[in-house]
Amino acid sequence: MDAILLSRLQFAAATMFHFIFVPLTLGLSVLIAGMETAYVRTGKELYLRMAKFWGKLFLINFVLGVVTGITLEFQFGTNWSRYSAYVGDIFGSLLAIEATAAFFLESTFIGVWVFGWKKLSPKAHATVAWLVAGAGNLSAVWILIANGFMQNPLGYVIRNGRAELNDFMAVVLNPFAWQQFAHTILGAFCVAGFFVLGISAWHLARKSHEEFFNASLRIGAGVALVASILVAVQGHFHGNEVARIQPVKLAAMESHWETRANAPMYLLQIPGENGNVLEALPVPSLLSILAYNDPDAVVKGLNDVPAADRPPVVITFWAFRAMVGIGTIMPLIALFAWIKRRDIGKYPWFLKLLPWAIPLPYLGLQAGWIVAEVGRQPWIVHGLMRTSDAVSPISGGQVGFTLAAIIVLYSLLGAAGFFLAGRAVKQGPDAAH
């Protein structure tokens, strides 16, 4: 196999694995900081126990997110060196700023958070929790500004045979990046909300630590409800922007082939790489409305795009549907949990269902990233550089070896992390360690 395909697989594996842990880190860190603040304000021991219990799960998750993130920064150089040389002037500086302004803060204070319980006052410790949470989310801002440049390159000029920065504020204020940030961060809060909700429900179904987990469940339900409604609403506007800036991606998301006004959406549709295998039950103008908020809008079709410039349609289409489907189920579950939060014990079937909902936002986020990244192909930087021109001059054998190593190593670490998290959940709050 060639270096390009293997490098793509390697990057996909490394990013997707990294992105199992990052969303929980982003959302749960804020919840924990909130719990510590509640403890400082009310003096109630319950909030301190909450911060410690959820904090233990947070740390298992956090370390896997951090170590897998290091690989990603290096992979741009190891596997995508031509990309790095071509856009490093812009992209590299965003990664460097992320490390200097955000990642340092997060990594330094996570150590203080773990080791500072006895050395700091509760107030100072809560401040540290906010620093960790704020820095983690600030990291996400910079990383998504960097990704935003790949989706919607702005603020550059081609000079000296590469893309050079000519407007830093245009890069930083890239509206596409901020839409993506909002969408991702809301997704991350869905992850945290459903995580807390599901684990609390697991304990409540067993009637263990009821006071503790009733309180946790309310927090989880509230966060899950707000975040899952906002992510859907905001997702619509994000979709509008994709339609405007990346019409080909939108066409692939919908497997839409003929350019036309009043574009319909098919309730029954099976996509193929050269046209739909099946399309039935059209809803007139629905695609035009969803994409441009206008029934008469013209929606560009894939037939108007040379085959070499089309993303893989089938993957993009189904990933998009998975994301939207999950985005529809999540608010319903969260809403029911929120309404019944005070007497949730009367619904044992629901308590047993909730742990199974934990994977939903995770799958939604992964599917969303597949839409964003696969849908951008064949470009590594949309309209500017092709993925095939970006790969390092390295042999397929080297990449194959490290790809295999990454899969084996990450699987083992993931299994260990999952095992530890499961143990910590079962032990419940107040376990010695």
Partner 1 sequence: MLETIWFLLWGVLWAVYFALDGFDLGMGMLKPFLARDEYEKRVIYNAAGPFWDGNEVWLISAGGVTFAAFPLAYAAMFSGLYTALMLLLFALIVRGVSFEFRSKVDSPGWKAVWDGCQVVGSFLPALLLGVAFANIFQGLPLDQNQVMHGGLLDLLNPYGLAGGVLFVLLFLLHGALWLSIKAEGDLRERAASTAARLWPVLAAVIVVFLVYTWFATKLFTNYLTNPVLFLILLVPVGGLVMIRVWLAARRFWAAWGASAVMIIGVTLFAVVGLFPAILPSSLNPAWSLTATDAGIKASSSPLTLAIMLGVALVFVPIVIGYQFWVYKTFSAPVTREDLEY
365 contacts partner 1 (rule: CB under 8 A): no
164 contacts partner 1 (rule: CB under 8 A): yes
CA distance 48 to 22: 24
415 contacts partner 1 (rule: CB under 8 A): no
CA distance 108 to 111: 6
Spatial neighbors of 262 by CB under 8 A, at least 6 apart, are: 284, 285, 288, 295, 296
Residue 150's Cβ-side half-sphere holds a number of Cα atoms within 13 Å equal to: 25
* Least spacing, CB of residue 69 vs partner 1, in Å: 8
* Least spacing, CB of residue 158 vs partner 1, in Å: 12
- Of 2, 42, 43, 114, the one binding partner 1 (CB under 8 A) is 114
- Of 13, 40, 46, 89, the one binding partner 1 (CB under 8 A) is 89
Helix (H) or strand (E) run with residue 58 in it: helix 45-78
Is 166 in contact with 156 (CB distance < 8 Å)?
yes
147 contacts partner 1 (rule: CB under 8 A): no
Q: 253 to each of 36, 114, 310, 367, how far by Cα in Å?
A: 42, 43, 11, 12
CA distance 54 to 32: 7
**Residue closer to partner 1, measured from CB, 237 or 418:** 418
> Tokens representing 196?
């807390």
- Of 42, 108, 274, 293, the one binding partner 1 (CB under 8 A) is 108
Is 364 in contact with 187 (CB distance < 8 Å)?
yes
82 contacts partner 1 (rule: CB under 8 A): yes
- Of 28, 54, 98, 179, the one binding partner 1 (CB under 8 A) is 98
Range in contact with partner 1 (rule: CB under 8 A) among 31-39, 255-263, 328-336, 418-426: 418-426
How many chain residues bind partner 1 (CB under 8 A)?
70
CA distance 108 to 131: 10
* Least spacing, CB of residue 140 vs partner 1, in Å: 16
Q: Which residues lie near partner 1 (CB under 8 A)? A: 59-60, 62-64, 66-68, 70-71, 73-74, 76-79, 81-82, 84-85, 87-93, 95-101, 103-105, 107-112, 114-116, 118-120, 159, 162, 164-166, 168, 392-394, 398, 401-402, 405, 409, 413, 416-417, 420, 423-424, 433
